[in-house]
């Protein structure tokens, strides 16, 4: 069922694992067989989780200045699993009692996540399923269809859902659905599995983490297929009150409730498993009660951005680099770039933090890159359309978005795809004119409504990569002022990036903008922006 869909990506990734893409035969250099390259890449990638010697090979993808900092502070990860095991041991009772030493290992583990496990997962998924490129879709509960079989995919792993996409589009399955009285099969998604299949296939987003139960209570969800992470413990209880079949698929994530059906996914029989699931959903269509209530709300979106497609859109076909993005930052049309990512938090009003932070940023000409549930929130708010630039953005960002035809908020995928943001920042460093490290760039990071454990790891790998990173809601460090000072101030001296906490979304965004301005001043490009703002105002006046 699986094959290499993106050979260009495979050839781009192979050198990072020191895998040859050419062979010499009788003095002649020839292209190496693709399957051979793929096999060696796979073996080398798997070894990164447990190799006994050396360090992660992907670390060399970081700017050299950053790599040297990691070396200086002794935080180069050796392999992914070893760093996780070691931090688990060090936080066991009675082991490491020095907060600086603990954070040294915490940093090493976080780098193993961002520049290791997550980055490799993104690359391998792109090779198998294709690197994303911009496409149109929709978002919110209104994507569910009353007259079709609704299958909602939820979780974080695209390996099975890719096959569900294939099977649900097969003519025999559509005919089978029609034989049961449905007009077709509507696939949609929740959380990051949704983001994965949105990015590559345009499958619409049904909702965020906090909307998973709402999808069921529409009465129109014939099957919810879950894999790992972010699945509410209560979702089975809610499904019990409706006709929804709740299907768990992963051996490490089962549910005890009797109504949860476990169809264990096995990649050797991926299509058969996907067929079983889709058929179960179709058979359940006729069990719907009369009370189907699907909210009308949904918004159009353009998603599917990646490191490569940003390069294409902001670099042009011929130039093909991040030069144009940098140029627009240097000339002040774009003030800076913000990565706004992460979860929804049940302690806050749904999406309020996400939307207010993002709107404040784009209003001030900061281009936003998004992943995870922030991406879903922005999609539902209509911020992922090129047209939204003219409504919500400052004049400089509006001009760039309208010229290039991109939204002011670029959706780069799931939480694991935060690694794409690290690589986009690295490309900005390489394109030149904005310093020689990520910490020199006018960029900032944010997770306005974070809640999951991995958000902390993601925050730490951004900080250790040189990014000022602001969290909303709360951080469990308020009672430890010495430790807080270490995270909020000392880290800046070490890595150039540091943590911050700001609950108020507007202040949160303004702190990020202040940091971006600080970096612009350090680069000597603050004056350029003042000039452009005046020019734009003058131009508008002339237009009136």
Q: Which letter does DSSP use for residue 20 in this model?
A: -
Binding flag, residue 452, ligand SF4 (CB under 6 A): yes
Binding flag, residue 343, ligand SF4 (CB under 6 A): yes
For ligand SF4, which is the closer residue by CB, 41 or 415? 415
For residue 415, which of 459, 379, 371 has the smallest C-alpha distance?
A: 371
Structural contact between residues 151 and 132, judged by C-beta atoms closer than 8 angstroms: no
Q: Which stretch binds ligand SF4 (CB under 6 A): 92-100, 338-346, 490-498, 499-507?
A: 338-346
For ligand SF4, which is the closer residue by CB, 328 or 345? 345
Strands 366-370 and 336-340: parallel
CB of 166 to ligand SF4, least distance (A): 23
Binding flag, residue 351, ligand SF4 (CB under 6 A): no
CB of 504 to ligand SF4, least distance (A): 21
Structural contact between residues 227 and 192, judged by C-beta atoms closer than 8 angstroms: no
For ligand SF4, which is the closer residue by CB, 303 or 532? 303
For residue 207, which of 194, 221, 196, 218 has the smallest C-alpha distance?
A: 194
Instruction: Give CA–CA dist 339/463, Å, rounded.
Output: 12
* Cβ-based neighbour number of residue 45 at 10 Å: 20
Instruction: Give CA–CA dist 173/364, Å, rounded.
Output: 49
For ligand SF4, which is the closer residue by CB, 6 or 113? 113
CB of 345 to ligand SF4, least distance (A): 8
Q: Binding ligand SF4 by CB under 6 A: which of 80, 149, 163, 191? A: 191
For ligand SF4, which is the closer residue by CB, 107 or 208? 208
Q: Where are the strands (E) in 131-264, listed by range? A: 135-139, 149-155, 185-190, 205-207, 221-226, 245-248, 260-262
Q: Which stretch binds ligand SF4 (CB under 6 A): 78-86, 310-318, 336-344, 349-357?
A: 336-344
Binding flag, residue 209, ligand SF4 (CB under 6 A): yes
By CB under 6 A, the residues from 410 to 449 that bind ligand SF4 are: 415
Q: Which letter does DSSP use for residue 490 in this model?
A: I
Q: Binding ligand SF4 by CB under 6 A: which of 127, 221, 373, 525? A: 373
Binding flag, residue 121, ligand SF4 (CB under 6 A): no
Binding flag, residue 314, ligand SF4 (CB under 6 A): no
Instruction: Give CA–CA dist 512/528, Å, rounded.
Output: 19
Q: Which stretch binds ligand SF4 (CB under 6 A): 171-179, 337-345, 493-501, 505-513?
A: 337-345
Binding flag, residue 372, ligand SF4 (CB under 6 A): yes
Alpha-carbon distances, residue 152 vs 77, 162, 254, 391 (angstroms): 37, 13, 18, 32
Q: Residue numbers of the site for ligand SF4 (CB under 6 A)?
A: 191-192, 209, 229-230, 342-344, 372-373, 415, 452
């Amino acid at each position: 069922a699986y094959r290499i869909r993106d050979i260009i990506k495979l050839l781009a990734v192979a050198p990072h694992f020191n895998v040859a893409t050419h062979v010499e035969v009788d003095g002649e250099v020839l292209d190496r067989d693709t399957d051979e390259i793929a096999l060696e890449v796979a073996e080398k990638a798997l070894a990164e989780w447990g190799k006994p010697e050396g360090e992660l090979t992907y670390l060399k993808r970081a700017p050299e200045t950053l790599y040297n900092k990691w070396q200086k502070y002794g935080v180069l990860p050796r392999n992914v699993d070893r760093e996780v095991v070691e931090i688990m041991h060090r936080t066991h009772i009675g082991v490491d009692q020095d907060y600086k030493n603990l954070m040294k290992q915490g940093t090493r583990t976080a780098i193993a996540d961002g520049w290791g496990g997550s980055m490799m997962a993104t690359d391998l998924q792109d090779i198998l399923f294709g690197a994303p490129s911009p496409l149109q879709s929709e978002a919110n509960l209104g994507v569910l269809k009353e007259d079709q079989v609704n299958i909602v995919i939820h979780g974080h792993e695209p390996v099975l859902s890719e096959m569900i996409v294939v099977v649900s589009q097969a003519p025999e399955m559509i005919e089978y659905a029609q034989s049961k009285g449905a007009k077709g099969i509507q696939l949609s998604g929740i959380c990051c599995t949704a983001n994965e299949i949105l990015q590559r296939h345009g499958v619409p987003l049904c909702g965020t983490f906090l909307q998973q139960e709402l999808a069921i209570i529409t009465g129109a969800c014939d099957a919810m297929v879950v894999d790992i992470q972010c699945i509410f413990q209560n979702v089975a209880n809610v499904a019990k009150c409706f006709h929804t079949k709740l299907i768990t698929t992963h051996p490490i994530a089962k549910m005890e409730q009797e109504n949860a059906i476990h169809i264990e996914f096995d990649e050797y029989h991926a299509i058969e498993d996907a067929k079983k699931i889709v058929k179960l959903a179709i058979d359940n269509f006729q069990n719907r009660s009369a009370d189907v209530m699907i909210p009308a709300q949904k918004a159009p979106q353009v998603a599917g951005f990646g490191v490569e497609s940003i390069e294409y859109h902001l670099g042009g076909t011929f130039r093909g680099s991040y030069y144009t993005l940098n140029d627009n930052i240097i000339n002040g049309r774009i003030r800076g770039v913000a990565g706004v990512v992460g979860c929804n938090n049940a302690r806050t009003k749904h999406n309020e933090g996400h939307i207010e932070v993002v709107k404040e940023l784009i209003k001030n000409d900061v281009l936003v890159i998004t992943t995870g549930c922030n991406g879903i929130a922005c999609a539902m708010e209509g911020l992922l359309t090129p047209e939204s630039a003219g409504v919500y953005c400052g004049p400089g960002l509006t001009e760039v978005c309208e010229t290039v035809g991109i939204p002011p908020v670029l959706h780069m995928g799931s939480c694991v795809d935060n690694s794409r943001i690290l690589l986009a920042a690295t490309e900005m460093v390489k394109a030149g004119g904005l310093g020689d490290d990520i910490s020199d760039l006018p960029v900032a990071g944010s997770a306005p409504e974070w809640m999951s454990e991995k958000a902390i790891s993601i925050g730490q790998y951004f900080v250790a990569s040189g990014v000022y990173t602001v969290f909303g809601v709360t951080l469990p460090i308020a009672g430890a002022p010495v430790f807080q000072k270490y995270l909020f101030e000392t880290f800046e001296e070490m890595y150039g990036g540091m943590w911050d906490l700001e609950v108020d979304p507007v202040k949160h965004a303004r702190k990020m903008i202040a940091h971006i301005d600080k970096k612009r001043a350090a680069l000597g490009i603050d004056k350029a922006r003042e000039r452009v703002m005046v020019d734009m105002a003058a131009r508008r006046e002339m237009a009136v």
